[in-house]
């Protein structure tokens, strides 16, 4: 698969569909490989007449594994990588679909570079400027949230991430993020985790995303969501454990945005929701 150079780092990129079709760039969340966009979901979107692109963030998967002490960066650099992917592929304007922190990056880019974004779809994301990272850190450390904070993660999120990690910790985290309504296949998840480990240049460097946040925890523009003019679709699962209710806050703040709640969905992208999610993305990007 091709490796492109963006902002002096190497990023792994994979494309699907006809290159003459409208471009849809998939942006995964913090500490997550682009390979976590499921093949079936990607295939459905490409089959609907889209040029679909997924990539690994820096310090994940097959992209550059950096020595953070020698080459520190902030989340602004991760945001600039998104635009760098478009530049490297010669794409002037694309539909952006972001999951979790990928949706946060999408909001940030839609605010600062609206001419580059044909539409935005934010899935399982938090509102830009809400300080979601600080909310999570308070929750995990047992600190109370001050008035006006974003809704904190559900108790099961805190319990799993603060318990001593067991032998199947990655699967336990995936099960919690998946939610309790839709069936969870632990064996299939183990295969996913093994595949992710095999793809990683250096599994240790994924923690650099946390270091990047700590280097500038106040990176988010505050109070400016209402300035976004890019057509926006906000998707949230009814069983969201990490950012419950955050999607509705995004939709309420961005003028003219649409909100879709997918029944049974948690914070992951399981097979049961692919048809509904792909249809929603195709309908939104067709506008």
Distance of CA 83 to the CA centre of its chain: 15
Alpha helices in the chain (DSSP H): 39-47, 75-88, 101-112, 132-141, 155-162, 169-178, 186-199, 208-215, 246-253, 274-286
Q: Give Cα 29 to chain centroid, integer Å.
A: 3
Answer yes or no: are the C-beta atoms of 120 and 112 closer than 8 Å. no
Asked if 209 and 31 count as a contact pair (C-beta separation under 8 A), the reply is yes
Separation of alpha carbons 27 and 13, rounded Å: 11
Quote the CA–CA distance of 152 and 161 in Å, as a whole number: 14
CA distances, 163 to each of 103, 159, 211 (Å): 28, 6, 22
For residue 266, the SS3 value is coil
Residue ranges and CATH numbers for the domains of the chain are 3-286 (3.40.50.1820)
Q: Count Cβ neighbours within 10 Å for each residue of 102-116 and write b for 16 or more, e otherwise.
A: bbbbbbbbbbeeeeb
The angle subtended at Cα 235 by Cα 32 and Cα 214, nearest 5°, is 40
Helix axis angle, 101-112 to 75-88, nearest 10°: 70
Q: Are 179 and 261 in contact (CB under 8 A)?
A: no
Residues of the chain with pLDDT under 50: none
pLDDT at 1: 61
Question: How far is residue 209's CA from residue 217's CA, in Å, rounded to a whole number?
Answer: 11
């Amino acid at each position: 698969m091709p490796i492109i150079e963006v902002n002096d780092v190497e990023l792994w990129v994979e494309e699907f569909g006809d290159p003459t079709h409208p471009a849809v760039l998939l942006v995964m969340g913090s500490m997550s490989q682009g390979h976590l966009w499921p093949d079936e979901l990607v295939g459905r979107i490409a089959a609907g007449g889209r040029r679909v692109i997924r990539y690994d963030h820096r310090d994940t998967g097959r992209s550059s594994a950096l020595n953070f002490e020698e080459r520190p960066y902030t989340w602004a650099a991760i945001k600039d990588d998104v635009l760098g992917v478009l530049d490297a592929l010669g794409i002037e304007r694309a539909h952006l679909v972001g999951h979790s922190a990928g949706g946060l990056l999408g909001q940030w880019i839609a605010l600062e570079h609206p001419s580059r974004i044909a539409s935005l779809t934010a899935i399982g994301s938090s509102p830009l400027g809400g300080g979601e990272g600080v909310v999570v850190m308070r929750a995990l450390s047992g600190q109370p949230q001050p008035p006006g904070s974003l809704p904190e993660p559900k108790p099961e999120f805190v319990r799993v991430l603060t318990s001593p990690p067991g032998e199947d910790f990655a699967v336990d985290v995936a099960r919690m993020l998946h939610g309790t309504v839709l069936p969870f296949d632990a064996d299939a998840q183990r295969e996913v985790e093994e595949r992710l480990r095999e793809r990683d240049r250096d599994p240790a460097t994924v923690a650099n995303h946390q270091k990047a946040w700590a280097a500038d925890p106040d990176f988010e523009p505050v109070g400016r969501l209402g300035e976004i003019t890019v057509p926006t679709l906000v998707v949230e699962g009814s069983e969201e454990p990490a950012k419950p209710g955050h999607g509705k806050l995004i939709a309420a703040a961005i003028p003219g945005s649409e909100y879709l709640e997918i029944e049974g969905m948690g914070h992951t992208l399981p097979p049961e929701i692919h048809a509904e999610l792909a249809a929603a993305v195709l309908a939104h990007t067709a506008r």
